[in-house]
């Protein structure tokens, strides 16, 4: 951007000098003769500047969702990564796609360590692996398609990130979802799958 502005300023100066000299020697006619120089010299840098400003505005406007926009059949899904690179999906978004999904309380009993109820965190979320496990029993064509999409677009990239990236640590680390105390409480409770 700075280089582009410097180039624009230099071209402006190079246009002003001949135009000023033409104005001093020919008067108003000299200015009319010198004005086309501005068009020739400044058109390309101005277009480049506009293109760069557009790219920066676009990057600024999409900074919140870049790399985390997920949509299945036109329905946006709010998915966040925790510090261990597991993905958590907003339950209300999943319910728009799977109408037969059990209530939050039932899901909390079925998957105690993998569901954040609305009482613990807003919005309620389910870990993608637990949702995939639930959908493994599905027989409806729409649910099977969603399960395959979940494997391809959510679970596989997350597993690749877990194998490649070391565990996040330090001030730049993403906050863990759910907090470790919640996970420990859930693991010490009764597990419905173990029965």
* Together in a domain, 101 and 33: no
* Together in a domain, 153 and 77: yes
pLDDT reported for residue 194: 42
* Together in a domain, 51 and 75: no
- 194 part of a folded domain: no
Q: How many structural domains does the chain have?
A: 2
* Together in a domain, 107 and 12: no
- 17 part of a folded domain: yes
**Torsion angle, alpha carbons of 59, 64, 94, 134, to 10:** 100
- 56 part of a folded domain: yes
Full pLDDT tens readout for the chain, 195 residues: 788 888 888 988 989 999 999 899 999 998 898 889 888 888 888 898 899 999 999 888 877 766 667 888 888 888 888 888 888 999 989 999 987 888 888 888 888 888 887 766 678 889 999 999 989 888 888 889 999 999 998 999 888 888 887 654 444 444 455 554 444 444 444 444 443
- Which of 61, 92, 110 terminates a domain? The answer is 61
Which of 122-137 are b and which e, b meaning 16 or more Cβ less than 10 Å from the residue's Cβ? eebbbbbbbbbebbee
Main-chain phi, psi angles of 89, to 5 degrees? -110, 135
Q: Give residue 18's domain range.
A: 2-61
* Together in a domain, 120 and 182: yes
* Together in a domain, 180 and 146: yes
User: Distance of CA 133 to CAs 55, 101, 110, 114, 155, Å?
Assistant: 41, 13, 11, 11, 12
* Together in a domain, 48 and 76: no
- Beta bridge mates, 127: 88
pLDDT reported for residue 167: 57
* Together in a domain, 119 and 32: no
- Which of 61, 86, 105 terminates a domain? The answer is 61
Verdict on whether the full-model pTM lies above 0.85: no
Number of continuous H segments (helices) and E segments (strands) in the chain: 8, 5
* Together in a domain, 138 and 75: yes
- 115 part of a folded domain: yes
Main-chain phi, psi angles of 10, to 5 degrees? -65, -45
């Amino acid at each position: 951007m700075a280089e582009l502005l410097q180039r624009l300023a230099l071209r402006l100066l190079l246009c002003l000098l001949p135009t000023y000299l033409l104005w001093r020697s020919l008067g108003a006619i000299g200015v009319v003769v010198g004005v086309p120089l501005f068009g020739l010299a400044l058109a390309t840098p101005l277009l480049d500047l506009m293109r760069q400003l557009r790219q920066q505005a676009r990057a600024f406007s999409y900074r919140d969702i870049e790399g985390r926009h997920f949509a299945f059949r036109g329905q946006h899904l709010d998915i966040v990564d925790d510090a261990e690179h597991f993905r958590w999906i907003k339950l209300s978004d999943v319910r728009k796609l799977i109408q037969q999904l059990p209530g939050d309380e039932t899901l909390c009993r079925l998957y105690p360590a993998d569901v954040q109820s609305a009482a613990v965190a807003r919005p309620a979320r389910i870990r993608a692996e637990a949702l995939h496990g639930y959908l493994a029993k599905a027989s409806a064509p729409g649910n099977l398609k969603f399960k395959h999409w979940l494997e391809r677009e959510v679970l596989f990239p997350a597993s690749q990130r877990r194998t490649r990236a070391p565990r996040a640590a330090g001030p730049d680390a993403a906050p863990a979802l759910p907090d470790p105390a919640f996970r420990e409480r859930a693991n010490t409770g009764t597990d419905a799958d173990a029965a």
